[in-house]
A and B are shown apart, each in its own frame.
Chain A
Amino acid sequence: MVFEILDENNLCSYYSYDQNPGINQKSVVAKNKYEFLDDEDVKKQLLDFTDSKISTVTFFIPDMHCASCIWLLENLIRLNPSIQNSRVNFLSKKLSVSFLTQEISLRKIVELLTAIGYEPLISFDDLEKKDLTDSNRKLYYKIGIAGFSFGNIMLLSFPEYLSIDTSSEILKQTFAFVILLLSLPVFFYCSWDYFESAYNGIKQKFINIDVPLAIGILALFGRSLYEIVMGYGPGYMDSFAGLIFFLLLGKIFQQKTFDILNFDRNYKSYFPISVTIIKGKEEKVIALSKLKIGDRIVLRNGELIPADSILFNGNGSIDYSFVTGESAQVEKMPGEMLFAGGRQIGSKIEIEVLKEVSQSYLTQLWNNFSFDKRNEGGITLFANNVSKYFTVVILLIAAVSFFYWLPQNIDTATTVFIAVLIVACPCALALSTPFTMGNSLRIFSKNNFFVKNIGVIEKIAKLNTIVFDKTGTITFPSRSDVEFVGDSLTDSEMERIITLMKNSSHPLSKKISEFFGFNSEIKIENFKEIASLGISGEVDGLRIKAGSPKFLSDDLIGDKLETDSVGHSSSKVYISINKEVRGFFKIKNVYRVGIKEMIRLLSKNFDLHILSGDNSSEKNNLMEIFPGSSNLLFNQSPFDKLEFIRKLKANGKKVLMVGDGLNDAGALSESNVGISIAEDITSFTPASDAILKASELNRFADFIDFSKKSLKIIYYSFGISVVYHIVGLGAAVQGLLSPLFAAILMPLSSITVVVFTTVSTTLIAKRKGFL
């Protein structure tokens, strides 16, 4: 189908650009899925720009993956001439389209994209746009200016470095004046963030790394300004500009952002952007934000319940796996309560909204609990802790040397005081963290472990407890191992059973039919599906029934139905053929590759626990994998999980939560570090500190170990910078700190730290096989 569209428009070279273009086509979408895009309010929020002639819009297209995709998406104009222009940003997977407002609607464009296999992802979250590019550009501006000034000041300081006799007073004055001019933008523009951050820190009675940094910068600039104005020479402006340049460089190094990932998703991203409501007898699509209590919504197969409501009409069969992690459907009768987050499977239902979207059970997970943890992100813990003592010690040394020199000469005393502050500027310390952690971040992301920011790596290094979710985290979410227990079935019998299963939308039937995967065209007669009991039908003369023991009780032959515990039976499907019970299908989770080994490695250093929303049918298997001291808890609600994490934390544990679903969202945010597991990293993941691609889970122990080593590297480089500080301070307190000495010492210490951190992280990563 895609080929036809392309061929018609002479776009077949699509297939020649990359090895394997094309993507799996998603199941055909409902006809009116994008009806809400005709709504004026939704349009207004989505469009970047619009007037009577031209509109522009930006889509996020998760399926974009190769050069051919770029080519095709940038040639949309040939598919529909009303599209004026389309531009791709591949790294952030964004497509911006400008089109003729009169000739084509937003909905048509989205449907066109969907038809060629690039369905844009439009979520509730998108409607509240935030732009990061501005802050990114600002950093580039600053680096450009600082680099320019740094280079030119160095050039103008050369005569002084080489002690060339500049007896010409005019020349000396001009040089100093030009240097001053060059350093002004560095001081007032490039270094402003540090003053601001230091000021904010002091205001909150918290000495962060920027406080000593700001003191140092201020002393450096102030002293040099004084020297230039007094006509003594250019002062330390070269060191000053150089330091700012290095610091900004460190900033850009640590600021590796993953455009395509979103670590701060809240429930809004999961919810549909619009709902169909019934007013009188008309069906109308409205934006979710306009949904009011008392509205009546129509839900079709596969649609999500957006707010707590009452089932009004129809047979509810709700899949809450999204919320609880357990893959079982719950049957609901009209008049029963439905919680937001459930998914309707089967026929159409009508529900009446009871609570607002933001007040529903699921969304309370986000609203009730403080999400302060998110705010502290980005602050590097170690550097901040050290800077407290650092600042005090430096001020003390400066004061002591000031008073030591005071009896001799107030001028010398002031000079020494300032010199101590200049040397003490902890740039090496401030650089070690961004460069080490920035490099680690890069190395991790190459190995499909995406960490939100550098502070998280530091936190990972200090953990001592790990809590795993079961389904989807340490097991495969969709794959299961199915085994038939009982009388052996012939191939033709099996084929008929699977054919019957294929007609059911129950998760267990789906798992069984997917596992065996017959593809036959046998006709089924008298197909019946009885909710929460089972299915029956006649396939090619065989009367087959499949379902729970209760469903088969007519055909019961005692010994084949060993109904052990209730929990266990839920992952068994009993089969009878022609009124004779033949046995049951046993459905087991499939554990991810390498889990056992990983758990063995981790159990040496960590307390391990399992929290599962599922029933306890896997308990015995898990007990083999996990050490005896672990807690294995089943049937845990999202709130139970959160409570468990909270208790661990109250006992002074540093907790890492590893989970995958929305049911873990509370626990992920409550834990010290929350890591979400994703099969496909562009798919939705709950808010977390890091996203790990599922296939890399077996290397998890290595990742943690590497984080610890990174932290150690920071400690070592801190040691290096202390050595430099002692040398510098030694000179400073004796009043021997010349501008030349400073110009060599300060960049040297910065460069040593930068080289040491990057080289050592890279070496360790190579040894671990990360690079």
Chain B
Amino acid sequence: MSVIIILILFSILIAGGFLIAFLWAVKSGQMDDKYTPSVRILFDNDEETKINKENNNSNKNVSK
């Protein structure tokens, strides 16, 4: 039965790891602004857009 004690200690250790991850997230300010990051991720980098455009153009050229 004593194996259960080890299991419990492990489970608490893992849960504690998640707790620490959560506390770290709060500390690093991830809970301060819950909206802006959701928008920020949608912005393209201009370099990429340019390449895409060029690709599109070249594709069109090929199809012609």
Interface membership of chain B positions 1-16, coded 1 if the CB is closer than 8 angstroms to chain A and 0 otherwise? 1101100100110011
Say if the beta carbon of A151 comes within 8 Å of chain B.
Answer: yes
| Chain B residue at minimum C-beta to C-beta distance from A69 | B39
Of A167-175, A475-483, A640-648, the segment with at least 4 beta carbons within 8 Å of chain B is: A167-175
Q: Which residues of A contact B31 (CB under 8 A)?
A: 136-137, 140
Say if the beta carbon of A71 comes within 8 Å of chain B.
Answer: yes
Q: Is the CB of A144 within 8 A of B19?
A: yes
Complex alpha-carbon distance, A148 and B40, angstroms: 31
Q: Is the CB of A92 within 8 A of B2?
A: no
Task: Kindly identify, within residues 16 to 42 of chain B, every residue whose CB is under 8 Å from any CB belonging to chain A.
Answer: 16, 18-19, 22-23, 26-27, 29, 31-36, 39-40, 42
Taking Cβ atoms with an 8 Å cutoff, the residues of B that contact A are 1-2, 4-5, 8, 11-12, 15-16, 18-19, 22-23, 26-27, 29, 31-36, 39-40, 42-44, 46, 49
Say if the beta carbon of A91 comes within 8 Å of chain B.
Answer: yes
Task: Kindly identify, within residues 97 to 142 of chain A, every residue whose CB is under 8 Å from any CB belonging to chain B.
Answer: 133, 136-137, 140-141
Q: Which residues of B contact A136 (CB under 8 A)?
A: 31-32
Q: A90-B33, A156-B8, A170-B2 are in contact. Are A67 and B39 (CB under 8 A)?
A: yes
Q: A88-B36, A148-B19, A168-B1 are in contact. Are A67 and B42 (CB under 8 A)?
A: yes
- Cross-interface CB contact of A178 among B1, B2, B12, B46, cutoff 8 Å: B12
Q: Is the CB of B39 within 8 A of A144?
A: no
Q: A67-B39, A70-B39 are in contact. Are A171 and B4 (CB under 8 A)?
A: yes
Q: A70-B39, A137-B26, A151-B15 are in contact. Are A13 and B46 (CB under 8 A)?
A: yes
Q: A145-B19, A178-B12 are in contact. Are A17 and B36 (CB under 8 A)?
A: no
Say if the beta carbon of A89 comes within 8 Å of chain B.
Answer: yes
Complex alpha-carbon distance, A90 and B35, angstroms: 7
Q: Is the CB of B23 within 8 A of A89?
A: no
- Cross-interface CB contact of B33 among A10, A17, A92, cutoff 8 Å: A92
Taking Cβ atoms with an 8 Å cutoff, the residues of A that contact B are 10, 13, 17, 67, 70-71, 74, 88-92, 133, 136-137, 140-141, 144-145, 148, 151-152, 155-156, 168, 170-171, 174-175, 178, 182
Complex alpha-carbon distance, A151 and B8, angstroms: 13
Q: Which residues of B contact A151 (CB under 8 A)?
A: 15
Min CB gap B50→A, angstroms: 9
Complex alpha-carbon distance, A151 and B19, angstroms: 12
Q: Which residues of A contact B44 (CB under 8 A)?
A: 13
Complex alpha-carbon distance, A71 and B40, angstroms: 7
Q: Which residues of B contact A10 (CB under 8 A)?
A: 46
Complex alpha-carbon distance, A156 and B57, angstroms: 64
Min CB gap A189→B, angstroms: 12
Q: Is the CB of A171 within 8 A of B12?
A: no
Q: Which 4 A-B pairs have the closest CB atoms?
A: A90-B36, A148-B19, A89-B33, A140-B26
Q: Which residues of B contact A171 (CB under 8 A)?
A: 1-2, 4-5
Q: Which residues of B contact A71 (CB under 8 A)?
A: 43
Question: Which of A144, A171, A178 counts the most chain B CB atoms within 10 A?
Answer: A144
Q: Is the CB of B33 within 8 A of A148?
A: no
Complex alpha-carbon distance, A70 and B42, angstroms: 11
Q: Which residues of B contact A140 (CB under 8 A)?
A: 26, 31
Q: Which residues of A contact B23 (CB under 8 A)?
A: 141, 144-145
Q: Is the CB of B8 within 8 A of A91?
A: no
Min CB gap A21→B, angstroms: 13
Min CB gap A174→B, angstroms: 5
